[in-house]
Chains A and B, each alone.
Chain A
Amino acid sequence: MSKIAIIGGGIIGVATAYELAKLGEEVVLFEKNYFGSGSTFRCATGIRAQFTDEANIRLMKYSVERWERLEEELGADIGFNQTGYLFLATSEDEVEAFKANIKLQNKFGVPTRLIDMDEGKEIVPILNTEPFLAGAWNPKDAKANPFKTLFAYLRRARELGVDAREHTEVVGLEREGDTITAVKFRSKGKVERVKVDAVLNACNAWAPLINGMAGLKRDLVPIKAYKHQLVKTEPLERGQAEPLVCPPSWNDAYIIQDGEDGGIICGAGIEHEAKSLDDVEPTYDFLRGVLRYAVRIAPPLRYAHVVRQWAGYYAKTPDSNPAIGKLLDNFYIAAGFSGHGFMMAPAVAQAMAELISKGRSKVPLDWEWYDPYRFERGELRSSAFQIG
């Protein structure tokens, strides 16, 4: 048994801590703020396998299968609901693109199909069918409650012996050759040190800082934080807009009804490069912009009151695919999720834990596709389709 340090207490770090503990490893987990405070608790709750490339489709198909059994495995309600994703086409060209995506998704067992707007209206009673020609519908896509999910993972991780510490900031890594030997961290103003056998950087938007501490170039894995915002309406009766509904050609705008209180969450690809890593100030241009899309997707939303607006980060890589893999002999990274960390967490955490503990994984994760060194080599993947 070896001692593994995980840096970053978001969904990826917490879930990986749980998976490692399940494999019998000794884990210490560091979070500089509170668990979930970075991006996890700010996410739009969506989970989908409707991607447009083999690597992401296969990874997310496996992740959805893990999600389906997660409540039972963790022994807790995590608000998981398979309410689907409905993408909407506004042009014939887009319908053709949908057909090609559906074919690829079907090839790997994802049951997406093309639907007409009559069926769309049945699935989403408040949908405006008029601007749309067809929809790509996968009823197995889903949503879950990020708070409940993170805390369910955390509780099981602690029960399995994980030493999970919040308000504990990692301030340095000690490196000998290509091995990290110790982690220095600050807790209640005091700097302490722990010897480790392996380290996982799960800091997403903050990951370049940790790579720097490991003596690597900060832009080896070039992750930039983009402020993404959401607004949410007052609680409403469930069943009005359960799936995530998105016309990608409308600036990736989407709506999705919260699986707990029925409030409708509205998002869009109106993004701002974060001024600093504590810039989560909501802006009026987003509020105005997103609502214009939302009421065109579902006109009855003009009668709903907005009660919340908040921001979080998409930690984006140049190709919007995460960096998952090994950076040094015992230094690993799973970061730069570009808005997909929550949905990918069950699969990535398992894959990462198996890689660290056993050197290989049975998760269908294409290590080459997500290779963190690909940016240095100038190899970019096709940009992952980026919605909630």
Chain B
Amino acid sequence: MRLNEHPVLRFERGREVTIYFEGQPIKAYEGETIATALHAAGIRVLNYSPNKKRPRGLFCAIGKCSSCLMVVNGIPNVRSCITLVEDGMRIERQHGRSRLPTKAKPPEFKDAKVVKADIIVIGGGPAGLMAAIHASRAGAKVVLIDENPRLGGQLVKQTHKFFGKREQFAGVRGVEIAKILEKELRKSENAEVFLETSAVGIFQEGEEKLVLAVRKERELIEFRGRAVIVATGAMERMIPFENNDLPGVYGAGAIQTLMNTYGVKPGDRVLIVGAGNVGLILAYQLIQAGVEVKAIVEAMPKVGGYFVHAAKVRRLGVPILTRHTILRAEGREKVERAVVAQLDENWMPITGTEKTFEVDVIALAVGLRPSIELLHQAGCQIKFVRELGGHVAVRDGWMETTVRGIFVAGDSAGIEEATTAMLEGKIAGIAAALRLGIADESWVEEIEKAQRDLDEFRSGPFGRRVAEGIRKALLGGVAGE
């Protein structure tokens, strides 16, 4: 079901088109992804798993988890969550590992398109946008690529107003910040943007860095530059429980994508797992979209997120069950119920405390892990830092990794939040321009200012843990685990 009324967001839909799901015509709008259009039509099972033939649906909705692979126009393994609908598209559920279409002509070879720039930014979220804006302001020619159809990363889903200082967009909704940053970047004559373009590898070729990318699954592009800024964000964590792969068990971000980016109602009744900021904000956003939130369960003895968010959710009548966990999801082919239980002091479920919620969506807001795949592939030194959410690239204070000319910023450098991602992006963008000898020394002050802002932002109780993690991730920093 599509949303038309929303207290904060306006949904502008493209031209109406028809797609065919297993032969049946379905109405969709240009600009929607395949998975979104199918979800709006009530279709949740997107494929069946290779070995046990279990139904699978959406999970991350941003192209990272491959839970949504489908056969599109005869081609298997298409990420339906980031591939846009086209009129007449034929879409089939994928059954495990698939066959390639046997009727295919050898392609006509031509050399890949080459795009040259000083700095290549991978990822168009808050960190990547700020990196690109500041690198181009500092005089560098910048190209920014993102595999999603829109700029803004996860900002485009955030309907709440940000905290912090005014110059860090305090009081502005995330979705508005994305628009401001995009406008800023598009103003620059030094910057070019490529959307629906996936970076698949980073190679060193002499003095040049080559970022190999594929646009719309069809066109190979060589992005050639002298520095690369990796701002690839994060990926939603999964936790183990019975039937955690049932369609309807969605990452919190996927639910935000469905309802806030595309205006599609994720379901009617939701159980949220995790009472950190993401879980709390999600509850509020669901209520904004007219979805009932049955409860939030949290394994820890107290709520993890900001008090103001928790208070708002409680005022709206959503119970937050601390010391509770999810035991299992139930349902045929899709979520119909969720069973939760209380935990004892050894984190074991207490028999007899089970509660069943009649829900059609289970939202997992159990944390994120940095997306470091490209950094790892490029040979950057990687270190496990629990406080930053997992494996991260070792870097210096200017966000440069152990591979000269490769920088990192935002959640891919360690899980934090959009405000700090923007500051890190600014540092990385200016630092790359300085290292290439493009920016003049006066820009160092801008880096130092951003570093002070970061320190200040991290001085609170939430930031201290991150700051400890960053000390471990710094080049020559304290030992990790």
Chain A bound to chain B: yes
The tally of CB-CB contacts under 8 A between chains A and B is: 60
Inter-chain contact B100/A301, CB cutoff 8 Å: yes
Residues facing B in A285-305 (CB within 8 A) are 287-288, 292, 295-296, 299-305
Residues facing B in A223-276 (CB within 8 A) are 234-238, 240, 261-262
Inter-chain contact A237/B97, CB cutoff 8 Å: yes
Instruction: Report Cα–Cα, A236/B112, bound state, in Å.
Output: 26
Inter-chain contact A236/B76, CB cutoff 8 Å: yes
Number of residues in A with C-beta < 8 Å to the partner? 29
CB distance from A332 to the nearest CB of B (A): 37
Complex interface: stretch among B121-129, B197-205, B457-465: B197-205
Inter-chain contact A128/B97, CB cutoff 8 Å: no
**Known contacts A235-B50, A284-B203, A309-B201, A300 near B97 by CB under 8 Å:** no
Number of residues in B with C-beta < 8 Å to the partner? 25
Instruction: Report Cα–Cα, A283/B21, bound state, in Å.
Output: 40
Please name all residues of chain B whose beta carbon is closer than 8 Å to the beta carbon of A128 when the two chains form the complex: 106
Chain B 50-82, CB within 8 Å of chain A: the 1/0 string?
100000000000000000000000011100000
With CB as the reference atom, state the residue of chain A lying closest to B50.
A235
Instruction: Report Cα–Cα, A240/B101, bound state, in Å.
Output: 10
Inter-chain contact A236/B107, CB cutoff 8 Å: no
Determine which of B50, B76, B102 lies in contact with A126 in the assembled complex, contact meaning CB atoms within 8 Å: B102
Check: B96 CB closer than 8 A to any chain A CB: yes
CB distance from B429 to the nearest CB of A (A): 26
Check: A125 CB closer than 8 A to any chain B CB: yes
Please name all residues of chain A whose beta carbon is closer than 8 Å to the beta carbon of B100 when the two chains form the complex: 126, 236, 240, 300-301, 303-304
**Known contacts A295-B106, A299-B105, A300-B102, A236 near B210 by CB under 8 Å:** no
Check: A23 CB closer than 8 A to any chain B CB: no
Inter-chain contact A283/B109, CB cutoff 8 Å: no
Please name all residues of chain B whose beta carbon is closer than 8 Å to the beta carbon of A309 when the two chains form the complex: 201
Determine which of A236, A287, A306 lies in contact with B99 in the assembled complex, contact meaning CB atoms within 8 Å: A236
CB distance from A290 to the nearest CB of B (A): 13
Instruction: Report Cα–Cα, A237/B100, bound state, in Å.
Output: 8
Instruction: Report Cα–Cα, A236/B100, bound state, in Å.
Output: 8
Please name all residues of chain A whose beta carbon is closer than 8 Å to the beta carbon of B479 when the two chains form the complex: none
Please name all residues of chain A whose beta carbon is closer than 8 Å to the beta carbon of B204 when the two chains form the complex: 281
**Known contacts A236-B98, A237-B99, A299 near B203 by CB under 8 Å:** no
Please name all residues of chain A whose beta carbon is closer than 8 Å to the beta carbon of B201 when the two chains form the complex: 284, 287, 309
Instruction: Report Cα–Cα, A235/B203, bound state, in Å.
Output: 24
Please name all residues of chain A whose beta carbon is closer than 8 Å to the beta carbon of B97 when the two chains form the complex: 235-238, 261-262
Inter-chain contact B101/A303, CB cutoff 8 Å: yes
CB distance from A303 to the nearest CB of B (A): 5
Please name all residues of chain A whose beta carbon is closer than 8 Å to the beta carbon of B102 when the two chains form the complex: 125-126, 300
With CB as the reference atom, state the residue of chain B lying closest to A292.
B109
Determine which of B75, B106, B200 lies in contact with A299 in the assembled complex, contact meaning CB atoms within 8 Å: B106
With CB as the reference atom, state the residue of chain A lying closest to B101.
A300
CB distance from A308 to the nearest CB of B (A): 10
Pick from A125, A128, A234, A238 the residue with the most CB of B within 10 Å: A234
Instruction: Report Cα–Cα, A87/B305, bound state, in Å.
Output: 63
Chain A 10-52, CB within 8 Å of chain B: the 1/0 string?
0000000000000000000000000000000000000000000
Determine which of B96, B101, B109, B212 lies in contact with A237 in the assembled complex, contact meaning CB atoms within 8 Å: B96
Residues facing A in B201-244 (CB within 8 A) are 201, 203-205, 210, 212
Instruction: Report Cα–Cα, A235/B97, bound state, in Å.
Output: 6
Determine which of A234, A237, A299 lies in contact with B107 in the assembled complex, contact meaning CB atoms within 8 Å: A299
Check: B104 CB closer than 8 A to any chain A CB: yes
Instruction: Report Cα–Cα, A304/B210, bound state, in Å.
Output: 22
With CB as the reference atom, state the residue of chain A lying closest to B205.
A284
Inter-chain contact A299/B104, CB cutoff 8 Å: yes
Inter-chain contact A303/B75, CB cutoff 8 Å: yes
Instruction: Report Cα–Cα, A140/B445, bound state, in Å.
Output: 70
Please name all residues of chain A whose beta carbon is closer than 8 Å to the beta carbon of B96 when the two chains form the complex: 237
Chain B 401-433, CB within 8 Å of chain A: the 1/0 string?
000000000000000000000000000000000
Instruction: Report Cα–Cα, A295/B108, bound state, in Å.
Output: 10
Please name all residues of chain B whose beta carbon is closer than 8 Å to the beta carbon of A240 when the two chains form the complex: 99-100
With CB as the reference atom, state the residue of chain B lying closest to A239.
B99
Instruction: Report Cα–Cα, A300/B74, bound state, in Å.
Output: 11
Instruction: Report Cα–Cα, A296/B109, bound state, in Å.
Output: 10
CB distance from B22 to the nearest CB of A (A): 19
Pick from B99, B106, B204 the residue with the most CB of A within 10 Å: B106
Please name all residues of chain A whose beta carbon is closer than 8 Å to the beta carbon of B107 when the two chains form the complex: 295, 299, 302
CB distance from A156 to the nearest CB of B (A): 28
With CB as the reference atom, state the residue of chain A lying closest to B99.
A237
CB distance from A230 to the nearest CB of B (A): 14
Please name all residues of chain A whose beta carbon is closer than 8 Å to the beta carbon of B109 when the two chains form the complex: 292
CB distance from B211 to the nearest CB of A (A): 11
Chain B 422-453, CB within 8 Å of chain A: the 1/0 string?
00000000000000000000000000000000
Instruction: Report Cα–Cα, A281/B204, bound state, in Å.
Output: 10
Please name all residues of chain A whose beta carbon is closer than 8 Å to the beta carbon of B101 when the two chains form the complex: 300, 303
Instruction: Report Cα–Cα, A125/B204, bound state, in Å.
Output: 37
Please name all residues of chain A whose beta carbon is closer than 8 Å to the beta carbon of B112 when the two chains form the complex: 288
Residues facing B in A109-139 (CB within 8 A) are 125-126, 128
Residues facing B in A201-237 (CB within 8 A) are 234-237
Please name all residues of chain A whose beta carbon is closer than 8 Å to the beta carbon of B104 when the two chains form the complex: 126, 299-300, 302-303
With CB as the reference atom, state the residue of chain B lying closest to A234.
B77
Residues facing A in B352-396 (CB within 8 A) are 379
Please name all residues of chain A whose beta carbon is closer than 8 Å to the beta carbon of B105 when the two chains form the complex: 299
Instruction: Report Cα–Cα, A192/B128, bound state, in Å.
Output: 53
With CB as the reference atom, state the residue of chain B lying closest to A130.
B106
**Known contacts A295-B106, A300-B102, A306 near B76 by CB under 8 Å:** no
Please name all residues of chain B whose beta carbon is closer than 8 Å to the beta carbon of A302 when the two chains form the complex: 104, 106-107
Instruction: Report Cα–Cα, A128/B100, bound state, in Å.
Output: 13
CB distance from A294 to the nearest CB of B (A): 10
CB distance from B197 to the nearest CB of A (A): 14
CB distance from A124 to the nearest CB of B (A): 11
Instruction: Report Cα–Cα, A126/B102, bound state, in Å.
Output: 6
CB distance from A349 to the nearest CB of B (A): 34
Please name all residues of chain B whose beta carbon is closer than 8 Å to the beta carbon of A235 when the two chains form the complex: 50, 97
Instruction: Report Cα–Cα, A227/B465, bound state, in Å.
Output: 44
Instruction: Report Cα–Cα, A311/B42, bound state, in Å.
Output: 46
Pick from B96, B99, B210 the residue with the most CB of A within 10 Å: B99
Inter-chain contact A284/B75, CB cutoff 8 Å: no
Instruction: Report Cα–Cα, A255/B195, bound state, in Å.
Output: 32
Chain A 130-159, CB within 8 Å of chain B: the 1/0 string?
000000000000000000000000000000
With CB as the reference atom, state the residue of chain A lying closest to B107.
A302
Inter-chain contact A237/B77, CB cutoff 8 Å: no
Determine which of B75, B98, B203 lies in contact with A283 in the assembled complex, contact meaning CB atoms within 8 Å: B203
Instruction: Report Cα–Cα, A122/B431, bound state, in Å.
Output: 58
CB distance from B72 to the nearest CB of A (A): 10
Please name all residues of chain A whose beta carbon is closer than 8 Å to the beta carbon of B76 when the two chains form the complex: 236, 303
Instruction: Report Cα–Cα, A292/B100, bound state, in Å.
Output: 17
With CB as the reference atom, state the residue of chain B lying closest to A297.
B106
Instruction: Report Cα–Cα, A153/B98, bound state, in Å.
Output: 33
Instruction: Report Cα–Cα, A77/B210, bound state, in Å.
Output: 41
Instruction: Report Cα–Cα, A236/B99, bound state, in Å.
Output: 6
Instruction: Report Cα–Cα, A235/B50, bound state, in Å.
Output: 10
**What are 7 residue pairs bridging A and B, where the CB atoms are less than 8 Å apart in the complex?**
A126-B102, A128-B106, A236-B76, A237-B99, A261-B97, A262-B97, A299-B105
- Known contacts A237-B99, A303-B100; 20 further A-B pairs (Cβ under 8 A): A234-B77, A235-B50, A236-B97, A236-B98, A236-B99, A281-B379, A283-B203, A284-B201, A287-B212, A288-B112, A292-B109, A299-B105, A300-B101, A300-B104, A301-B100, A302-B106, A303-B75, A303-B101, A303-B104, A304-B100
Residue numbers of A with Cβ under 8 A of B are 125-126, 128, 234-238, 240, 261-262, 281-284, 287-288, 292, 295-296, 299-306, 309
Chain A to chain B: the 4 pairs with minimum beta-carbon distance, closest first: A300-B100, A299-B104, A300-B104, A299-B106
